[in-house]
Chain A
C-alpha cells in the first residue's frame, strides 16, 4: 500500500512516511495509547510495503522493544526505526518473476505444478517453516481439489491480482 513514489523532496518524504506509519500503527492501537501488541508488528511492517523474512522481523522487533520487553511496542520507538526502513527502501517486495523461479526450483522436472504433499513438505520443513494454520490457509486457496496440486503460475497470477 505504501508504494507511492515521493518526488517532492526528502523532508516532505519523511513527513509523508510518518503519516503513513502512524495510520498503519493506529489500526492496531486498540487502547488508543500509542502502543500495539508486539505480535502485530509484523503485520504493520508488511502492510507498509516491506517484505522482511521472519528472522529479519525478529531483529526488527528487538530494535523497537523496550529494554525489559513488555509485550507492547510503543509508537515513539517504532516510528524512527520504520521511517529509516522506508527511506532506505529495505525489505523490498519480491518481484513476480523471482517468485516464479522459486517455485520452479521446487519443481525441477518442470511439471508446472507441485503436489499438495510436496508443497506441505517444503513449506513446513524448509526455509522458515509455516505453522499449521498458515499451511492450511495456503492450501485452501492454492490447491486445486481435483488434481490435488497447485499450478503455481496461475496461483501467483491470482494472488497478484488480488493484491491490487
Chain B
C-alpha cells in the first residue's frame, strides 16, 4: 500500500493506460471491419463490370454469327435468300418527301381526354420546362408531339457541324454531363441542383442518353426540347448508344414500342435518322475537347470535322465497298482459308471460346467499367447483300466441284459489283469510307488505359484503348488543354487519368444497382478549371449507412453472379469432375476457384468471393454436386422447368431476344411463322440440333398458341425450350412431336 497521492496517480495512470489500450483495441477491430467492407465493395464492382463485359462479348459473338451467316450461308431456296435479305437489309433512308411522310404527325389526332403536356412550335422555354415537370409527374408525351419534336430536332441538327464550337464568353459557365442511360431521375436532379438550361447556363450532354434505364424517351424529349429552345447554349454529342442497332439489345427499342404501341415504329424510324445527325464532339474555347468515348493514335480532327456524319448510321462492323468482283472473290477465298483467324465460336468443332488475345488479357488490363455495348449488326444495302449471298453460293459450288475433282469453271467474270458511283447513279455514295467510319468508331468507343501506346480493341471490333502518350500527342497537335469523355461507369461518377489530362464524367448514379455508384457532372468557367459535383439520385441511399449500401449492392451482384454460375452448371460439373479423379464427390476450395474461373472467364477474385458463394466448410473441401444443386434450387424457385433447360434458356435469353427483335424488323412484337422457321433453321444449325424442315413447320404451327399466324417473343422463347427438351431426351433427329414431353409442353401455353 502506498501513500495516497502516488497510489492515486498510479491507479489513474493504470486506468488511463487501460482506457488508451481499450480504445486502441476497438479502433483496431473497427478498421479491420471497414477494410473488409471496402474489399467487398471492390469485389462487387468487379462482378458487375465483368458480367457486363461478358455480356458485351456475347453481343459480339452474336454479331459474328450473323456476319458469318452472311458470308458463308448457302440458302437452299429463294425464300431463304429473301429472308436473309430482309433480315439484314436496312431500309434506305427516306429522303426528302419520303421522310416527310414518315415524320407525318399532323394527321395524328390528340384525343380530348389527353392530359399530358402539349407542345407547339417554335418551342418556348416554358414548354421545355413544362415538359420536365410533366415527366416528373410521370406523364407521357403524346406520339404526335414526339414526332413533331423529333422532326424539328432533325431539322436543327442538320445545320450543325460535326464538331460544335462553344465559348465561355457567351455563357459564363458550361456544365458537362455524361451518360444518363434512360435514368430520368438523374437528369431531373441535375437540373434541380445545377439549374435549368438558360442563355447564362450552357450544357453539354456527352452521349448515351438511352438504353438500360426506363425513361430514355423522356430524356430525349427533354434534351431535344432544350436544344431547340437554346440552340446556342445547349449541346448534344452522339454516344455509341445513339444507334438503332445497339438499341435493339439494350432496351430502348423495347421501351419505345412499349410506350407507343401505335406509333412506335414511326418514332423509331425517325430516331434512327436523328441519331446519325447528332454532332460527334464539342470544343470549348478551342481548348477542351468533349466527346463520348475517347481518341486513338489515328484521330484526325480535321477529317472528323469534314466527313458526312449522317452516313454513319451505326458504328457497325464495316466492310469496304468491293471495287471489283475479282478482288472480292480472292478476298473471300483468303478469308475461308485463313489459318490465323480463330475459328468462329459457334461452329460445332469449336465449342470452347476461342483463345484470342482479347480474352482475359484485355479484361485484366481494363477493369474500368464499360457502360456501353459494342458495335453490332450488319446493315447492308439490299443489292450488296444479295450479291454477297450469291457469291457465297457460287464459291460453295466451286468448292464442291473442286472436291469432286471437276474443273472449276468460272467462265465469264461475274459483272463486277458496281463501284459506288455507278451503283447509285448520280447520287452520292451512301456509305462512309473505311477511314471515316474508323475515325467515328474510335471517338465513340475508345477508352483510356494507364499503359502507354494504343491497343486496338478486337472485342468490340472498333475503338481502342489509348495511353497517356496518345492523349498528350493529340492535345499538343491541336493545342488543347484536356479531354472530357464519358462511356465508362465510375464509382465516384468521375475519374481523372493521364495526369489529369483526361476526365471521365458519368452521370447515371446507381447505375448497376441502388448504391452502386455516384453520378457526377463537371462545370467549366472561363478559366476552364473543372469543378465536379457528385450526387446519388436516390433518397434511400442517403439514409443507409455505408455498410447497408454495400450489402444491398453486393446482394444484387451476387445474385447476378449466381445466376451466371447456374447458367454454366453443366460445364462447371465437368470441370469439377476433372479435379476429382478419385470420384470422392469432393474438391478443394482452391480447385473450386480454378474451375469456376476456367469456365466463366470473368477474371474475378474468386477466393475473395468464395465465402459469399460457398457455405464455409471446415475442412476446406466442397461437395460440388450438392453445391450445384443448391444453385439450381435458387433459380428454379422461379419456374417449374427442368434445370438444364432453364440453364440453356438463361444463357441464351438475351441472344434470343435480340435475334427476335432483329427478325421483327417492323417492330411489331410479332414475327410471322415463315420468319420463325427460317430463323429457327439458322439458329439450330449453330446449336447443332438436327431438325428437318417438316418438323420445324409443325413446331412453328404448334407454337402459335393462339393460331393467328404470328408468334410473339414469349412463344419464341418457349419454342426454343421445347426443342431443346426433346433433344436432350435423346431424340436429336426425331421430330419433336413424337416425344411425349413435347405434347406436355405444348399444352402449357401459360408457362412463360
Minimum C-beta distance from A123 to chain B (A): 6
Question: Is chain B's interface secondary structure helix, strand, loop, or mixed overall?
Answer: helix
- Interchain CB contact under 8 A, A31 and B450: yes
**Most central of A6, A30, A126, A163 by chain B CB within 10 Å:** A126
- Of all chain B residues, the one with the shortest Cβ separation from A107 is B22
- Interchain CB contact under 8 A, A53 and B620: no
Within 8 A of B (CB), among A123-142: 123, 126-130, 134, 137-138, 140-141
- Of all chain B residues, the one with the shortest Cβ separation from A31 is B450
**Most central of B22, B26, B31, B611 by chain A CB within 10 Å:** B26
Per-position binary interface string of chain A over residues 1-32, scored 1 when its CB falls under 8 Å from any chain B CB and 0 otherwise:
11111110000000010011001101110111
What residues of B have a CB within 8 angstroms of the CB of A24 in the complex?
A: 39, 605, 607-608
- Interchain CB contact under 8 A, A94 and B22: no
Q: A4-B589, A5-B620 are known contacts. Are A163 and B22 too (CB-CB below 8 A)?
A: no
Within 8 A of B (CB), among A82-119: 93-94, 98-99, 101-103, 105-106
- Interchain CB contact under 8 A, A43 and B26: no
- Interchain CB contact under 8 A, A106 and B31: no
What residues of B have a CB within 8 angstroms of the CB of A51 in the complex?
A: 28-29, 32
- Interchain CB contact under 8 A, A123 and B23: yes
Question: Is chain A's interface secondary structure helix, strand, loop, or mixed overall?
Answer: helix
Is the C-beta of A70 less than 8 angstroms from some C-beta in chain B? no
> Within the assembled complex, what's the spacing in Å between the Cα atoms of A51 and B451?
34
> Within the assembled complex, what's the spacing in Å between the Cα atoms of A33 and B42?
18
What residues of A have a CB within 8 angstroms of the CB of B39 in the complex?
A: 1, 24, 27, 43-44, 46-47
What residues of A have a CB within 8 angstroms of the CB of B449 in the complex?
A: 31
- Interchain CB contact under 8 A, B620 and A4: yes
What residues of A have a CB within 8 angstroms of the CB of B547 in the complex?
A: 141, 162
What residues of A have a CB within 8 angstroms of the CB of B54 in the complex?
A: none
Q: A23-B608, A30-B367, A99-B26 are known contacts. Are A137 and B20 too (CB-CB below 8 A)?
A: no
Minimum C-beta distance from B695 to chain A (A): 49
- Interchain CB contact under 8 A, A106 and B607: no
Is the C-beta of B413 less than 8 angstroms from some C-beta in chain A? no
> Within the assembled complex, what's the spacing in Å between the Cα atoms of A28 and B24?
27
Per-position binary interface string of chain A over residues 36-79, scored 1 when its CB falls under 8 Å from any chain B CB and 0 otherwise:
00000011111100111110000000000000000000000000
Minimum C-beta distance from B607 to chain A (A): 4
> Within the assembled complex, what's the spacing in Å between the Cα atoms of A28 and B42?
8
Is the C-beta of A159 less than 8 angstroms from some C-beta in chain B? yes
> Within the assembled complex, what's the spacing in Å between the Cα atoms of A160 and B543?
22
Per-position binary interface string of chain B over residues 548-576, scored 1 when its CB falls under 8 Å from any chain A CB and 0 otherwise:
00010000000000000000000000000
> Within the assembled complex, what's the spacing in Å between the Cα atoms of A61 and B547?
27
> Within the assembled complex, what's the spacing in Å between the Cα atoms of A52 and B607?
22
Is the C-beta of B36 less than 8 angstroms from some C-beta in chain A? yes
- Of all chain A residues, the one with the shortest Cβ separation from B43 is A27
Contact partner of A7 (CB less than 8 A), chosen from B36, B364, B619, is B619
Within 8 A of A (CB), among B680-731: none
Minimum C-beta distance from A144 to chain B (A): 13
Contact partner of B364 (CB less than 8 A), chosen from A16, A19, A32, A138, is A32
Is the C-beta of B99 less than 8 angstroms from some C-beta in chain A? no
- Interchain CB contact under 8 A, B608 and A122: no
> Within the assembled complex, what's the spacing in Å between the Cα atoms of A102 and B26?
7
What residues of A have a CB within 8 angstroms of the CB of B25 in the complex?
A: 94, 98-99, 102, 127
Minimum C-beta distance from A63 to chain B (A): 19
Is the C-beta of B400 less than 8 angstroms from some C-beta in chain A? no
> Within the assembled complex, what's the spacing in Å between the Cα atoms of A30 and B593?
21
What residues of A have a CB within 8 angstroms of the CB of B28 in the complex?
A: 51-54, 94, 128
Is the C-beta of B435 less than 8 angstroms from some C-beta in chain A? no
Contact partner of B35 (CB less than 8 A), chosen from A6, A46, A128, A159, is A46
What residues of B have a CB within 8 angstroms of the CB of A122 in the complex?
A: 19, 22-23, 26
> Within the assembled complex, what's the spacing in Å between the Cα atoms of A107 and B610?
38
- Interchain CB contact under 8 A, A127 and B605: no
Q: A5-B620, A6-B620, A126-B24 are known contacts. Are A105 and B18 too (CB-CB below 8 A)?
A: yes
Contact partner of B451 (CB less than 8 A), chosen from A6, A31, A47, A94, is A31
Contact partner of B38 (CB less than 8 A), chosen from A43, A94, A99, is A43
> Within the assembled complex, what's the spacing in Å between the Cα atoms of A127 and B19?
8
Per-position binary interface string of chain B over residues 17-61, scored 1 when its CB falls under 8 Å from any chain A CB and 0 otherwise:
011111111111111111110110011001000000000000000
What residues of B have a CB within 8 angstroms of the CB of A94 in the complex?
A: 25, 28-29
- Interchain CB contact under 8 A, A23 and B607: yes
> Within the assembled complex, what's the spacing in Å between the Cα atoms of A24 and B610?
12
Is the C-beta of B512 less than 8 angstroms from some C-beta in chain A? no
What residues of B have a CB within 8 angstroms of the CB of A20 in the complex?
A: 607
What residues of B have a CB within 8 angstroms of the CB of A5 in the complex?
A: 618, 620
Q: A19-B593, A33-B450 are known contacts. Are A163 and B36 too (CB-CB below 8 A)?
A: yes
Minimum C-beta distance from B357 to chain A (A): 14
- Interchain CB contact under 8 A, B32 and A126: no
> Within the assembled complex, what's the spacing in Å between the Cα atoms of A128 and B32?
13
Minimum C-beta distance from B366 to chain A (A): 8
- Of all chain A residues, the one with the shortest Cβ separation from B39 is A47
- Interchain CB contact under 8 A, B620 and A106: no
Is the C-beta of B358 less than 8 angstroms from some C-beta in chain A? no
- Interchain CB contact under 8 A, B36 and A47: yes
> Within the assembled complex, what's the spacing in Å between the Cα atoms of A16 and B610?
14
- By a beta-carbon cutoff of 8 Å, the part of chain B in contact with chain A is 18-36, 38-39, 42-43, 46, 364-367, 449-451, 545-547, 551, 589-590, 593, 605-608, 610-611, 616, 618-620
Can you report 19 A-B residue pairs in the complex whose CB atoms are below 8 A from each other? A1-B36, A1-B607, A1-B608, A31-B451, A33-B450, A46-B31, A53-B28, A54-B28, A98-B25, A99-B26, A99-B29, A101-B22, A103-B22, A106-B22, A126-B24, A127-B24, A137-B545, A159-B33, A164-B611
Please give me the 3 A-B residue pairs with the lowest Cβ-Cβ distance, nearest first. Answer: A127-B24, A46-B35, A127-B23
20 extra interchain contacts, Cβ-Cβ under 8 A, other than A5-B618, A30-B367, A128-B24? A1-B36, A23-B605, A24-B607, A27-B39, A27-B605, A27-B608, A33-B450, A46-B36, A47-B39, A52-B28, A53-B27, A98-B25, A99-B25, A99-B26, A99-B29, A102-B22, A105-B18, A122-B22, A127-B22, A164-B611
